[in-house]
Amino acid sequence: MREFILSKIKKVFMIDPQSYNNLALYDKNLFDNIECNKKVLLGNDKFNDSNKIKFEFKALYKYSERKYIFKIMSYLVSQLKLLFILKNNNPDIIHFQWFKIPILDYLFLKIIKKISSKSKIVFTAHNILPHDTGNKYKNIYEKIYKLVDGIIVHTKKTKDELYKNFYVNRDKINVIPHGLLELNYNINRTNDFMNSFINLNKLDDKIVFGFIGSIRENKGIEMLLEVWEECQFLKNNDEAVLLIAGSCVNKDLKQKLLRINELNNIIIDIRFLPIDNFVAYLKVSDVILLPYLNISQSGVLLTALSEEKPILVSDRGGLTDPFEVGELGWIIEPTKYNLKNKIIEIINNKNYIKKIKNDNFLWNRVKKYYSWESIGKETEKFYEKIYNQIEK
């Protein structure tokens, strides 16, 4: 039992309208490792670990299956319920993980400030702005960042960007790493899927480059496709395979994926991946590719590290942070030229992949650095710092 830090903070309410799949795993790991008298997660009805938690869970968010205005209305109803819960409980800390409709959420934050004036509001900026939206929400997020009392980010680069581009006071921002995501999967189903996939595609003795997870433009997928299709060494290589697997909502991108799937050494599986399939694809990959064009932090990266996989990352957001612990793979500036040359270099130096995989000392250091216990402790300290500012 570690030292109890939250001497003044008695109640922490965490709010996450998207607490399912990997996001639920983050909430669970973090909240399980925070100590205070009362911990409540107000989350999504798809939260799937409610029977194995060390905190109280309430399914506040349940969205209409109908589109557009119906989904907005269902979210609005949930937010109105949230106001009622917070007013009646007066938490010391109100910790938001995600916002779903930024303009509405900003208005609700202003109301929360009035009805629960003694509470301190913390927001975790997993990404500075929502994915694939450009600067569409920049103005409203600038207002949100100024309104909340404290902001948690996962990387130093994100903190610098908030300071430079959103004019947020550095003292208001605290860098706390995102812990490793060790998925709860069925090992038998995972191994069965993995073994039949290896046998079907004859992957023994081949280097598998895995691009896994949701497939979006900001992740550099189009650049990767062009590199593989244009480079004779890559597309005709019998020693290497490019595996692309995950959901894709962009129709044009789907068509490009289906077209390039005709190459002999590319395997594409476009669908939402059940956890067992997702982990199987991670395990079968020798190198995980993350040539992202813009990102703050990546759940795929942290899951890959938990599986002890070498990584190729771009120098964007916090993708390079794990390299402060040790040499976990390769870092590139995300251009076609750099990506092509680095993949060719990896293929020509297979032994370096094995060296990284077999470095037990390195992987133990990684797991210690991204320990949920230490992350929980750092979060408690930040709560305490923010809460003390109330009493001045």
pLDDT tens-digit series, residues 70-118: 778 889 999 999 999 999 999 999 999 999 999 999 999 999 999 998 9
Both tokens of 354, joined, read 């094995």
pLDDT recorded at residue 71 = 79
pLDDT recorded at residue 317 = 81
Average pLDDT over residues 245-259: 90
Both tokens of 370, joined, read 């991204």
Q: How far apart (Å, rounded) are the C-alpha atoms in residues 270 and 285? A: 17
Any idea which of 17-26, 144-153, 306-315, 356-365 has the lowest mean pLDDT? 17-26
Residues of the chain with CATH 3.40.50.2000: 11-179+371-390, 187-369
pLDDT recorded at residue 127 = 87
Question: For residue 46, what pLDDT band results from cuts at 50, 70 and 90?
Answer: confident
Mean pLDDT in the chain? 91
pLDDT recorded at residue 392 = 44
CATH superfamily of 11-179+371-390: Glycogen Phosphorylase B; (3.40.50.2000)
Question: For residue 134, what pLDDT band results from cuts at 50, 70 and 90?
Answer: confident
Q: Domain 187-369 is in which class?
A: alpha beta
Neighbouring residues of 214: CB distance < 8 A, sequence distance ≥ 6: 246, 247, 248
Average pLDDT over residues 366-387: 94
Convert the pLDDT of each residue in 148-177 to its tens digit: 999 999 988 889 999 999 999 999 999 999
SS3 letters across the chain? CCCCCCCCCCEEEEECCCCCHHHHHHHHHHHHCCCCCEEEEEEECCCCCCCCCCCEEEEEECCCCCCCHHHHHHHHHHHHHHHHHHHHHCCCEEEECCCCCHHHHHHHHHHHHHHCCCCEEEEECCCCCCCCCCCCCHHHHHHHHHHCCEEEECCHHHHHHHHHHHCCCHHHEEECCCCCCCCCCCHHHHHHHHHHHHHHHCCCCCEEEEEECCCCHHHCHHHHHHHHHHCHHHHCCCCEEEEEEECCCCHHHHHHHHHHCCCCCEEEEECCCCHHHHHHHHHHCCEEEECCCCCCCCHHHHHHHHCCCCEEEECCCCCCHHHHCCCCEEEECCCHHHHHHHHHHHHCCHHHHHHHHCCHHHHHHHHHHCCHHHHHHHHHHHHHHHHHHHCC
Question: For residue 65, what pLDDT band results from cuts at 50, 70 and 90?
Answer: low
Convert the pLDDT of each residue in 308-342 to its tens digit: 999 999 998 889 989 989 999 999 999 999 999 99
Convert the pLDDT of each residue in 263-302 to its tens digit: 789 999 999 999 999 999 999 999 999 999 987 778 899 8
Comparing 67 with 376, the larger pLDDT belongs to 376
